[in-house]
């Protein structure tokens, strides 16, 4: 078998973001951690880490991490069947990647009951809509919520439902830029708020209006910050209907073009042999997510 002490050292350095914290977590000296990683590199005959701050896994390193993640999930099941004492005797923790808008809306309601029932701890990693799968492939997470329907090798996919996005702005903003309607000229002048450079939502909305030109924009990679900028009248932007029921009801935010929605399908990716807890989480999401998401389409 592989020497899991070496693999655990690699995983700790990546997960803790450095050798010093990895050493703290493992209860080792920093040089011991460094030795183990070097020994691992000697065994596999290739670098496993790029020594940046924070360190990054090489492609070989990512394959090893992927393996470690899957072994850990299997160990969790084993430990429920065969209770073992030891250093590793921690409550269960699942590392999940998800898009910021899911975390800002339906996720907590879907998983809270399970988390309390199983004393399950989540380590949530926030990723852009379309890139969460990278972590899944790299073995850094046990599951992933994203917009891609294509499973990675060794994993399964469950369709969760559609997240409905509305193009909204404050009434003052609409009066300033769109008093004469959402015309091509107005769209060129009015600043948008965009979540990140990978965000295609506003392009999908604009192409529905036959607008393909340039537009000004603020970049704001935070769901809560996004709504704050919208409410302060700094731009228009695409927001999940689920995130702003209060603002829509009070009129603090209004649709630019009522009914011109963008629906984004969401999928749950999970390892096929991920163990009982991951299967329980999958069952919980299968049961709850679609109703929670549908509440945004009323």
Instruction: Let me know if 25 is exposed, middle or buried by CB neighbors in 10 A (0-12, 13-18, 19+).
Output: middle
Chain residues in the site for a copy of itself (CB under 8 A): 16-17, 21, 50, 52, 56, 91, 100, 103-105, 107-109, 111-112, 115-116, 119, 121-126, 191, 197, 216-225, 228-229, 231-234, 243
Main-chain dihedrals φ then ψ at residue 224, nearest 5 degrees: -70, -45
| Minimum separation from the CB atom of position 29 to a copy of itself (A) | 20
| Minimum separation from the CB atom of position 56 to a copy of itself (A) | 6
Q: Which two three-digit tokens encode residue 168?
A: 């909204």
| Minimum separation from the CB atom of position 103 to a copy of itself (A) | 3
Return d(Cα 192, Cα 168) in angstroms, integer: 10
**CB-wise, 151 or 221, nearer to a copy of itself?**
221
| Minimum separation from the CB atom of position 10 to a copy of itself (A) | 17
Q: DSSP string of 184-231? A: HHHHHHSPEEES-TT--HHHHHHHHTT--S---EEE---HHHHHHHHH
Helix or strand run (H / E) with residue 46: none
Secondary structure of the chain: what % helix, strand, coil (to 5)? 45, 20, 35
| Minimum separation from the CB atom of position 211 to a copy of itself (A) | 18
Is the sign of the CA dihedral 221, 14, 46, 64 positive or negative? negative
| Minimum separation from the CB atom of position 1 to a copy of itself (A) | 30
**CB-wise, 45 or 91, nearer to a copy of itself?**
91
Residue with tokens 């299968």: 286
CB 55 within 8 A of CB 255: no
**CB-wise, 202 or 243, nearer to a copy of itself?**
243
Q: Which residues pair with 164 in a beta bridge?
A: 263
CA-only gyration radius of the chain, Å: 23
**CB-wise, 100 or 152, nearer to a copy of itself?**
100
**CB-wise, 68 or 104, nearer to a copy of itself?**
104
| Minimum separation from the CB atom of position 132 to a copy of itself (A) | 13
| Minimum separation from the CB atom of position 250 to a copy of itself (A) | 12
The answer to whether the peptide bond before residue 72 is cis (omega within 30 degrees of 0) is no
**CB-wise, 157 or 234, nearer to a copy of itself?**
234
Is the sign of the CA dihedral 130, 134, 136, 141 positive or negative? negative
**CB-wise, 121 or 184, nearer to a copy of itself?**
121
């Amino acid at each position: 078998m592989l020497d899991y002490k070496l693999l655990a050292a690699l995983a700790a350095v990546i997960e803790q973001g450095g050798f010093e914290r990895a050493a703290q977590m493992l209860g080792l000296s920093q040089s011991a951690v460094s030795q183990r990683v070097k020994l691992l590199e000697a065994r596999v005959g290739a670098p496993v880490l790029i020594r940046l701050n924070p360190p990054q896994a090489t492609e070989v390193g990512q394959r090893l991490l992927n393996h470690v993640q899957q072994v850990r999930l299997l160990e969790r099941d084993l430990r429920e069947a065969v209770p073992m004492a030891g250093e590793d005797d921690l409550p269960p923790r699942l590392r999940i990647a998800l898009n910021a808008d899911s975390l800002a809306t339906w996720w907590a309601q879907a998983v809270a009951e399970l988390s309390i029932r199983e004393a399950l701890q989540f380590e949530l990693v926030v990723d852009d809509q379309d890139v969460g799968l990278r972590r899944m492939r790299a073995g850094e997470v046990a599951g992933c919520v994203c917009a891609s329907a294509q499973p990675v090798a060794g994993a399964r996919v469950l369709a969760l439902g559609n997240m409905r996005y509305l193009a909204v702005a404050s009434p003052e903003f609409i009066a300033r830029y769109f008093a004469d309607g959402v015309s091509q000229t107005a769209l060129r002048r009015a600043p948008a708020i965009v979540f990140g450079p990978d965000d295609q939502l506003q392009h999908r909305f604009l192409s529905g209006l036959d607008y393909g030109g340039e537009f000004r924009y603020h970049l704001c990679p935070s769901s809560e910050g996004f709504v704050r900028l919208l409410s302060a009248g700094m731009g228009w932007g695409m927001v999940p209907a689920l995130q702003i029921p209060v603002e829509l009801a009070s009129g603090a935010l209004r649709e630019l073009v009522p009914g011109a929605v963008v629906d984004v399908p969401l999928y749950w990716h999970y390892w096929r042999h991920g163990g009982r807890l991951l299967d329980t989480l999958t069952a919980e999401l299968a049961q709850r997510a679609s109703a929670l998401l549908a509440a945004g389409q009323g």
